[in-house]
Structure 1
Amino acid sequence: MPAYLDTPTLIDLARRAEAAAPGPCACTKTPLDGWQSQPLSLDESQFREIGTLLLQDDQEPTFAEYLPGKTKYWSADAPIAPRYFPYNRCGVWECASCGRLYLRYTEGGGYFVDRRIRALNSALIEDVSL
């Protein structure tokens, strides 16, 4: 299992990746600033998992969301709160082509499974307690 990344480590990794790869990723034509269903055109082989936000000893991570004000789950400006859903179920992945970092998780519903992806933006990470 990938190593657990606490919030200060996540912020540090995100800032370093942003400094090394300023500007948007050209690896996908779909904007990934907010959560998106993973585009079919995204090349899986260009990503490597570098860590997880899922605590190993957490038997049942919360489904509570942290969406202050009028932010929505799909919004590009929605905060990234690692202790809240869906972030508490995410892997942190690095694009081998551009070095940018992405959050990925699998949303499971009654009749579907949807792989979702969002670009990691250090300015949106909030260390908020449950």
Structure 2
Amino acid sequence: MAQYLNAASFLDLARAAQQRATERCSCTRTPLDGWQSQPLSLDETLLEEIGTLLLEDDLEPAYNEYLPGKTTYWATDAPIAPRYFPYNRCGVWQCSTCAHLYLRYVEAGGYFVDRRIRAVKAELIEDVPLPA
């Protein structure tokens, strides 16, 4: 399993990646600012898993979502709250060519499986505790 990243280490990683990231890469062809089904055009061989937001001993991560105001799951400005769904089930991946960071997880429900991906923007990361 990949190394667990708490919110602080995830934020540090995201800030560092944003400073190094370049815009010219095939991984940035499709805008991934909000959650999307992973595009078939994305070359997965460019992505390296560098961490996870999934706690190793958490057998069933919470399904609570953190969507303040009128934000939706699909919104490009929706906060990235590592303790909340779907972030608490995500791997953190980095493009080996341009250094962009992505979150990836598998949405499985009913009769389908959907591999989802979202670009990481450090300014959207919020360390919000789960409700008691």
- The answer, yes or no, to whether TM exceeds 0.5 is yes
TM value normalised by structure 1: 0.96
Question: Please, which runs of 5 or more residues in structure 2 have no aligned partner?
Answer: none
Instruction: Say yes or no: does 1:18 pair with 2:22.
Output: no
CA distance in 2, matches of 1:97, 1:91: 18
TM value normalised by structure 2: 0.94
Task: Please say if residues 25 and 100 of structure 1, whose CA atoms lie closer than 8 Å, have aligned partners that are also in contact.
Answer: no
| Aligned residue identity for 1:40 | L
The superposition leaves residues 64-95 of structure 1 with CA deviations (integer Å, 9 ceiling, x where unpaired) of: 10000000000000000000000000000000
Question: Please, which runs of 5 or more residues in structure 1 have no aligned partner?
Answer: none
1:109 positional shift: 1.0
CA distance in 2, matches of 1:42, 1:63: 28
- What percent identity do the matched residue pairs reach? 68
Two-structure CA RMSD over aligned residues (Å): 1.2
- Equivalent residues in 2 for 1:1-130 (5 A)? 1-21=1-21, 23=23, 26-130=26-130
| Aligned residue identity for 2:126 | E
The superposition leaves residues 7-57 of structure 1 with CA deviations (integer Å, 9 ceiling, x where unpaired) of: 000000000000111558552422100001000000011101000000011
| Aligned residue identity for 1:7 | A
Structure 1 residues 58, 30: CA separation in 2 closer, same or farther (over 3 Å shift)? same
Q: How many equivalent pairs are there? A: 130
Task: Please say if residues 28 and 41 of structure 1, whose CA atoms lie closer than 8 Å, have aligned partners that are also in contact.
Answer: no
Structure 1 residues 126, 2: CA separation in 2 closer, same or farther (over 3 Å shift)? same
